[in-house]
Amino acid sequence: MEEKIIDEKKQGQALTLEPKEENSRKLYIESYGCQMNFSDSEIVASILADEGFNTTNKLEDADLVLVNTCSIRDKAEQSVRKRLEKYNAVKRKNPKMKVGVLGCMAERLKDKFLDEEKIVDMVVGPDAYKDLPNLVKEIEAGRDAVNVILSKEETYGDISPVRLGTNGINALVSITRGCDNMCTFCVVPFTRGRERSRDPQSILSEIQDLAEKGYKEVTLLGQNVDSYLWYGGGLKKEFKNASEMQKATATNFSQLLSLVAEAHPKMRIRFSTSNPQDMTLDVIHTMAKYPNICNHIHLPVQSGSTRILKEMNRQHTREEYIQLIDAVREIIPDCGISQDIITGFPTETDEDHRDTLSLMEYVKYDFGYMFKYSERPGTMAARKLEDDIPEAIKKQRLTEIVDLQLEHSAYRTHQFVGKTVEVLIEKESKKSDAHWSGRNPQSTVTVFPKEHYRPGDFVLVQVEDCTGATLIGNAIGFSENN
């Protein structure tokens, strides 16, 4: 996936929700990795709330400790391993406490955690959360429990997730699970299984519920949202055969976007992640048509070299990517665009690296997430290609692309100075308790004096200054969206 990395601050923090009075057991749940994991943890907390668990952010108080894990890079797995050591240290003092691993590492390492390492009581893969009530009973009876079966259907569409650590303003709504792309570096198709789309009606009803609770922004989530496709209902007798019916009644991503945008004209809509080869002009036109769909696309490129893109099994060339960027800029001139880039992929030459820098120069991304290549066991790249770029070169190249991105982010924030932007207030600014912080549609963080405004307000902000990543201004009034 091109998983957008969640706010660093939330990584590994135990997030909680309002307790239910009738619940007596305590769940401590920590999440690592992408937004999808954070969204999944809400599904898990929701399932366990029905099993008598309230959440706690005190590890020592927990009856059950769960960690939702990420396998995307070795570093992500190492952070989780450190946490497992910590949980086990606490467990030694409180032997009744049970520890479970969820998510991608659970799927990748399966019963190794139980049998060889003996560091957990329960292992649950991303498609097995509905089995948690049974699995928890097993561990409470003193037996190890494991379910890492991947599903072709599970979308958790019927679970209405609780919201963990929420500000009551922004929410994540998952629309697809899994990934069929098979980029050669990526472990996700192995840990999250085949791609499947969720019923649009269940997506709409989840968003309706959020709207009723006062939420102002939803992010539609999937490893590859542009390939969303739901084969809808319809009466068979109206069509010649099932496949004709499926085609006629299908909902694709741009149609889903229109459905959501029309149902909730005051709700801000974001989505992540887009894949260049699957992003259609229809999607871009739909974004342009509805003012409540934010003008921001997270469009990972991974490399600017067509040769490397081919080795990565990305289904696009440098030129096709550039064409897509040109189309976005033509249809939505003020669209924010962000990237993911991997540096030091096997066989990457200086020339390939320069291609990445020149592509960045062309796009001038608003922001991005850049990584050194990390070989993942079992992936096509690990099987076929030697991880041959020395660490020092990976590091050097990463520094160069990060530095260039910093320049471009500063260039982009400067473009907003003197302009008025609409900001949805999310929270207090990290640096000053006299300022609010929110984002403009392009997803650039904007801070301004609080005055009489409140979190959840849509405010027009006159941008007066900026740093490399943040806009600084003054509110000039509520926007029409309020």
Footprint of ligand 5AD (CB under 6 A): 1-3, 72-73, 185-186, 300, 302, 340, 342, 371, 373-374, 376
Pairing of strands 98-103, 122-124: parallel
Using CA atoms, how far apart are residues 267 and 293, in angstroms rounded to an integer? 8
Nearest distance, CB of residue 358 and ligand 5AD, angstroms: 19
Compute the C-alpha angle 187/190/195, nearest 5°.
Answer: 105
| Residue 73: partners with Cβ closer than 8 Å, 6 or more residues away | 371, 374, 376
What stretch of H or E contains 372? strand 367-372
Pairing of strands 25-31, 196-197: unpaired
By C-alpha distance, which of 423, 426, 396 is closest to 482? 423
Contact 252, 228 (CB under 8 A): yes
Nearest distance, CB of residue 380 and ligand SF4, angstroms: 10
Residues 269-308 that bind ligand SF4 (CB under 6 A): 275
Using CA atoms, how far apart are residues 133 and 27, in angstroms rounded to an integer? 13
**Looking at 34-42, 80-88, 175-183, 350-358, which segment touches ligand SF4 (CB under 6 A)?**
175-183
Nearest distance, CB of residue 346 and ligand 5AD, angstroms: 11
Which entry of ligand SF4, ligand 5AD, none binds 72, CB below 5 to 8 A by partner kind? ligand 5AD
Please, which residue, 34 or 164, has the CB nearer to ligand SF4?
34
Q: Does 2 bind ligand SF4 (CB under 6 A)?
A: yes
Which entry of ligand SF4, ligand 5AD, none binds 202, CB below 5 to 8 A by partner kind? none
Contact 357, 318 (CB under 8 A): no
Please, which residue, 63 or 340, has the CB nearer to ligand 5AD?
340
Which entry of ligand 5AD, ligand SF4, none binds 179, CB below 5 to 8 A by partner kind? ligand SF4
Residues 211-270 that bind ligand SF4 (CB under 6 A): 223-224
Q: Does 181 bind ligand SF4 (CB under 6 A)?
A: yes
Residues 387-406 that bind ligand SF4 (CB under 6 A): none
Measured distance between the N- and C-terminal CA atoms of the chain, rounded to whole angstroms? 34
Nearest distance, CB of residue 33 and ligand SF4, angstroms: 12
Three-state DSSP class for residue 363:
helix
Positions that interact with ligand SF4 (CB under 6 A) = 1-2, 179, 181-183, 186, 188-189, 223-224, 275
